[in-house]
Amino acid sequence: MAAPNGSQRRLAVLVDADNAPAAIIEGLLEEVARYGVATVKRIYGDWTSQQMNSWKRVLLAQSLQPVQQFAYTTGKNATDSALIIDAMDLLHTGDLDGFCIVSSDSDFTRLASRLRESGKKVYGFGEEKTPSSFVAACDQFIYTGVLRRPAADPTPVPTGPSKGASPVTTPKKPQPVPFRFICQAIDDISGDDEWALLSQLGSHLTKLRPGFDPRLYGFAKLSTLLAAQPDLEVTQAVVGNGATAVVRIRPSATPALSSAARSTAGTRATATS
């Protein structure tokens, strides 16, 4: 995804080490690379604490700049304050196009909203326990569960972990596909011929639900998720000088499905008018 001038977005990656596991770091930075260049990479926490040991092992390899923040008072999260202050400094002094906030803490909801008010793209990264307020405040939210790497080989894991070994993360069972929500989104943007551009659909789904991600449902891409739905039709269409993927609800699909999508879309339009 390029910046408006054709160059890649310059992004600041700000990690709340108190609320993010070190096991995601490789997948996280690979994901960030899909949206732009990680110009700034900072990670916040009390590095005198043993709880930071897992992060300490990856700081150098991933070129993360640790920011020390002592826990001055029990029950007060000084790490959040340091991250927020740095984010606002970078907003006003750094030549950045967007921010990647890595945390599952709702305390960053207002920060995400403020950054977006200033015209910056905000990508959130957190666990599934992340409050919906923070998820909704981001342009796009990526659940870190889809970033965890499975074991490299299927060798059974020993019952007793060996000394110094990293824990193996077992992938979670995919969530049910939100089929009706997808149909409503197709109906929102489709033309009179009922076809919708796949690229526009992906953007629209994310606008409606910043946490929407095909990987949550067991699919690597939106196109493969849609193609696996028997009541949807995905094909190529000529647009301008090239071909692009388009999707529609199959005419043979149950009438109730199509009418329900249109009814819901009509209700939303009435409510916003």
pLDDT per position as a tens digit, 103-154: 999 999 999 999 999 999 999 999 999 999 999 999 999 999 988 654 333 3
Q: Which domains does the chain have, with CATH numbers?
A: 9-146 (3.40.50.1010), 179-272 (3.30.420.610)
- Longest CA–CA span in the chain (Å) reads 64
Measured CA to CA, the distance from residue 235 to residue 230 in angstroms comes to: 13
SS3 content of the chain, % helix, strand, coil (to 5): 40, 20, 40
pLDDT at 79: 81
Residue 255: the pLDDT is 59
pLDDT of residue 75: 43
pLDDT band at 256 (very low <50, low <70, confident <90, very high): low
Of the pLDDT bands very low, low, confident and very high (cuts 50, 70, 90), residue 93 is: confident
Q: What is the pLDDT of residues 152-171, one digit of tens each?
A: 333 344 444 434 434 444 45
**Report field, pTM of the whole predicted structure over 0.85:** no
pLDDT at 122: 97
pLDDT of residue 111: 96
Percentage above 70 pLDDT, the chain: 78
Q: At what angle do helices 109-117 and 78-93 cross, to 10 degrees?
A: 10
More confident residue, 238 or 161: 238
Distance, CA of 11 to CA of 269 (rounded, Å):
35
Rounded to whole angstroms, the Cα distance separating 83 from 240 reads 45
Looking at residue 252, its pLDDT comes to 80
Query: Which own/partner contact pairs does 153-158 have at CB distance under 8 Å and 24+ positions apart?
Result: none
How large is the average pLDDT for residues 70-87?
75
Per the prediction, the chain carries an average pLDDT of 82
> Cα–Cα distance between 226 and 251 in angstroms, integer?
16
The pLDDT, as a whole number, for residue 258 is 53
* pLDDT at residue 213, as a whole number: 93
Task: Give residue 148's pLDDT.
Answer: 65
